[in-house]
Structure 1
Amino acid sequence: MSYKNTLITISEDSKVTSGKVPIIRNEKHTIAYIEHDLINNNPYKFTQDDVQFKTYMIKNQIEEKNADELREQFFSKPKACFRASPLVKNHGWGIHYNNQGKIAIYDAKSEMYNQLLNQVDITKLKGMRSKRK
């Protein structure tokens, strides 16, 4: 599933209220770190599917040869949308999808995040909670 003209807000139960850059743990890049790096350095360049697949490739240190075939295999099983991303759940980033479904991230304390929150023509979806109520 890919959204258009949508803002995914930080999760209600997020422990942070502003964007925190994810860290590298035990000298390994976390999913949050890779997603943040890809989206932050390439705003509105990639779709959700692009970022998910690139994250998978980087995390598993897979070379880009046969990428089309691997991508097809990767998406043969359903994937969670970015409402479940650690960026919105644990790191204080909102994810904005433009009209073409390309994404950018915004610190929840930033002016741009608040502008997007207040635009009536943008769909707002809450990031998924980490714990059930």
Structure 2
Amino acid sequence: MAKRGYVYILVNPAFTGFVKIGKTINDPEDRARQLSVGSGVPAPYAVAWDALVNDCDYVERLIHQQLTEFRSRKDREFFATPLKTAIAVASTIAAPFSCEAEDVSVLTLAAPEQDEVIGRPKRIRREGPEELIEVAEDCRVDRAEAPPDGNSKTIARLGYEILMEHPYKYTEREFYYELHAVRRNRPDLKFESYNIKRAPVVKVHGWGIHRDMNGKLALVAIESPRYKELQATIKTTKAYRTNKAP
């Protein structure tokens, strides 16, 4: 029998060049967290794409067949293909089986307790265009580095920890709220005036910031193949310079 559920694509900064394509009858975010707790997983998974379909077993099988030449092993769900390619293939295959059109009201009106119902989507789709915030032109490092840590954490360190621990969880405004209101206890600040291009991690410490199709943010090391791939395939914007241009 056809089984309603999600097909998803996960990414992990520890497994550069690979995507994980699978299925679940629960929320993909829960599945990502479940997979991230294993001792053999050095960094957490993040949901890069998902779709609610009326037969997740069948749709997953079709996607795997289409991408079979990129599969790392027959008994594994990892594929050595660019994320953009995987999303394009998966979204095309999933479209005829989509259940999301019938659940539009759920996306915006569902009460919290309804989120636990199997198959109900939790997230409103696409908030803005996909984008890479490139490292500032006057950044002095050519490899990404962690901002210095200490007893009193700097804004740079706090921002780095938030995005490293929770890739593709926060939008720009949500990120600044978590950074300043929650972790710095400064709810008085006007978050609408902030701009991610001013973040120290992207101006000083060699990290690009990828904004995905849902507006969620993740760090990408300047020296990584992923950074170069994003530069070549999506919209790019330079971070603000630390010093004024001569």
TM-score, scaled to structure 1: 0.81
Q: Which residue matches 2:214?
A: 100
State yes or no: 1:32 paired with 2:156.
yes
Deviation at 1:8, TM superposition (A): 0.3
Structure number with the higher helix fraction is 2
Matching residue within 119, 127, 131 for 2:239: 127
1:87-124 Cα distance to aligned partner (Å, 9 max, x none):
111100000000110010011001111110110xx210
Instruction: Count matched residues.
Output: 118
1:38-88 Cα distance to aligned partner (Å, 9 max, x none):
11111111111111111112123x7xxxxxxx4xx544x642311111011
Higher relative contact order (CA 8 A, sep 6+): 1
Q: Distance in 2 between matches of 1:3 and 1:24?
A: 33
Deviation at 1:3, TM superposition (A): 5.5
State yes or no: 1:9 paired with 2:134.
yes
- Structure index of larger Rg: 2
Matching residue within 193, 212, 219 for 1:79: 193
Q: Gaps spanning 5+ residues in structure 1: where?
A: 63-69
Q: Distance in 2 between matches of 1:13 and 1:3?
A: 28
Q: Distance in 1 between matches of 2:175 and 2:143?
A: 22
Contact (CA 8 Å) 2:176, 2:194: kept in 1 or not? no
Task: Name the SS for the 1:125 alignment partner.
Answer: strand
Deviation at 1:18, TM superposition (A): 1.4
Contact (CA 8 Å) 1:7, 1:124: kept in 2 or not? yes
Q: Distance in 1 between matches of 2:208 and 2:128?
A: 14
Q: What is the aligned-residue RMSD (CA, Å)?
A: 1.8
Contact (CA 8 Å) 1:5, 1:99: kept in 2 or not? yes
Letter in 1 for 2:130: N
Q: Percent sequence identity over matched residues?
A: 27
Q: Distance in 1 between matches of 2:221 and 2:227?
A: 7
State yes or no: 1:52 paired with 2:176.
yes
Letter in 2 for 1:131: N
Deviation at 1:32, TM superposition (A): 1.0
Contact (CA 8 Å) 2:173, 2:192: kept in 1 or not? no
Q: Which residue matches 1:21?
A: 146
